[in-house]
Amino acid sequence: MPAREKLQEQVNILREQLEQDPPLPAEKREALEALLARFETQLELEPATQTPSISDDVNQAAIEFDADHPVISGTLRNIMITLGNIGI
């Protein structure tokens, strides 16, 4: 599977995890949804026009969710790995 398709699949998995309504504080849920929206916008761009900050933002989100929501954190880490594989 091409890396961009894998990346979109992982974003879809993360959206599904959020829809299962884990007990997240409203501010964390909103921040993660904003990150996903930004991330999906970035997916539409060519890799050369993407900024490395999206990887930093995904990494920060993974760290924040690590203790209380390890499944979400794991999906975010998978996204980071895929970003690295496609040079972002």
Q: In this predicted model, what pLDDT tens digit does every residue of 4-58 receive, in sequence order?
A: 788 888 888 888 888 887 788 888 888 888 888 887 777 776 555 555 678 888 8
The b-or-e profile of 4-33 (16+ CB within 10 A means b, else e) is: eebbbebbebbeebbeeeeebeeebeebbe
| Domain boundaries, position 24 | 3-85
Work out the angle at residue 2's Cα, subtended by the Cα atoms of residues 62 and 10, and round it to the nearest 5 degrees. Answer: 30
Closest by CA position to 53, among listed 27, 83, 74, 32: 83
Q: In this predicted model, what pLDDT tens digit does every residue of 43-81 receive, in sequence order?
A: 776 555 555 678 888 888 899 888 888 999 999 998 888
Q: Tokens 């993660």 identify what position?
A: 32
**% of residues, the chain, pLDDT over 70:** 89
One-character DSSP codes across 8-60: HHHHHHHHHHHHT-----HHHHHHHHHHHHHHHHHHHS-GGG--THHHHHHHH
Mean pLDDT for the chain? Answer: 81
Q: Is the pLDDT of residue 86 over 60?
A: yes
